[in-house]
């Protein structure tokens, strides 16, 4: 079966992804390919010659048998069970995050990206004379906050021990935590209580502060990713594995997203 260039490229991406390390990802992509019409499926395997032989063989085995779909479904269930996040792992990783209250002192549109706001955020860091030294951070929130005035002056939560990252050429020195609704129609800042000041550290309720991980350890151990699996808005309260986030003796809130993910 002849494939259009667009389909040819898409199929190659799918078949390559079968060699990924996630069992769930492999199972889902295999199911997608098994669901293709027969001729397209075999063309997919043919053009995916860059995929490891074991991936192509596994796909053909499942695609060639009447029980292929149920086998893939079982594999997906088994993989999901294997990869179910452990709440304690998420909580342990969050304890190593340096999450602080920040105040956005300035915001402007990224000149080369229609998705990014560039911000200067006071996170409690000062120079030798005691003057605030705001961090420059980029946030992909232009679709949800239309003007710089909607950002300036806001108090937010900032993850401060991530390694600096270039976003569309702009060096971002941290990440602002936002809550997202299930359909992503709403993405909004998680807000600290009014009494919190820039630099105050955000902890889980009842937890004692520990030394934050270094930027290298954050990247190597994937602490942000592990914590994010347990970060949720629950009844408008920001939580890790169901435990509220606290600063200045009060809970951090997600006023516009009652239930959703936080990242």
Strand partners, 132: 126
Least confident piece of the model among 9-13, 45-49, 190-194: 45-49
Q: Residue 86: its pLDDT value, please?
A: 87
More confident residue, 132 or 53: 132
Query: What tokens appear for 238 in the block?
Result: 């920001």
Domains of the chain, by residue range, sit at 5-81, 89-262
Strand residue runs (E) in 22-141: 99-109, 117-122, 135-139
CA 28 centroid distance within chain: 20
**In this predicted model, what pLDDT tens digit does every residue of 164-181 receive, in sequence order?**
999 999 999 999 999 999
Reported as a pLDDT band with limits 50, 70 and 90, residue 49 is: very low
207-228 burial string, b = 16+ CB within 10 Å, else e? eeeeebbeeeebeeeebbebbb
- Contact call for residues 8 and 47 (beta carbons, < 8 A): yes
Q: Smallest Cα–Cα separation from 176: which of 101, 75, 253, 64?
A: 101
Least confident piece of the model among 10-24, 91-105, 144-158, 232-246: 10-24
Give the C-alpha separation, 196 to 143, whole Å: 28
Strand partners, 17: none
CA 180 centroid distance within chain: 11
Q: Enumerate residues 6+ apart whose C-beta is below 8 A from 69.
A: 31, 34, 35
**In this predicted model, what pLDDT tens digit does every residue of 64-90 receive, in sequence order?**
565 555 655 565 555 544 456 789 999
Q: Enumerate residues 6+ apart whose C-beta is below 8 A from 118.
A: 107, 108, 109, 110, 136, 137, 138, 170
Give the C-alpha separation, 163 to 184, whole Å: 26
Q: Give, in words, the CATH class of 89-262.
A: mainly beta
């Amino acid at each position: 079966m002849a494939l259009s260039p667009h389909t040819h490229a898409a199929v190659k991406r799918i078949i390559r992804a079968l060699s990924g390390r996630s069992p769930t990802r492999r199972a889902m992509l295999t199911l997608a390919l098994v669901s293709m019409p027969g001729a397209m499926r075999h063309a997919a395997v043919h053009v995916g010659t860059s995929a490891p032989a074991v991936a192509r063989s596994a796909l053909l085995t499942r695609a060639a048998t009447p029980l292929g779909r149920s086998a893939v479904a079982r594999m997906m269930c088994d993989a999901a069970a294997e990869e179910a996040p452990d709440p304690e792992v998420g909580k342990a990783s969050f304890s190593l995050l340096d999450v602080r209250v920040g105040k956005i002192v300035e915001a402007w549109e990224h000149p080369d990206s229609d998705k990014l706001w560039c911000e200067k955020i006071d996170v409690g860091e000062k120079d030798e004379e005691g003057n605030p030294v705001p961090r420059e951070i980029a946030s992909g929130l232009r679709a949800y906050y239309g003007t710089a005035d909607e950002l300036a002056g806001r108090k937010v939560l900032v993850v401060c021990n991530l390694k600096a990252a270039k976003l569309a050429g702009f060096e971002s020195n941290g990440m602002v935590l936002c809550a997202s609704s299930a359909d992503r129609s709403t993405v909004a800042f998680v807000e600290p209580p009014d009494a919190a000041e820039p630099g105050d550290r955000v902890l889980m309720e009842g937890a004692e502060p520990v030394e934050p991980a270094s930027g290298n350890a954050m990247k190597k151990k994937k602490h942000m990713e592990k914590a994010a699996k347990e970060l949720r808005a629950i009844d408008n309260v920001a939580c890790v594995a169901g435990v509220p986030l606290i600063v200045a003796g009060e809970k951090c809130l997600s006023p516009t997203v009652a239930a959703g993910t936080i990242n």
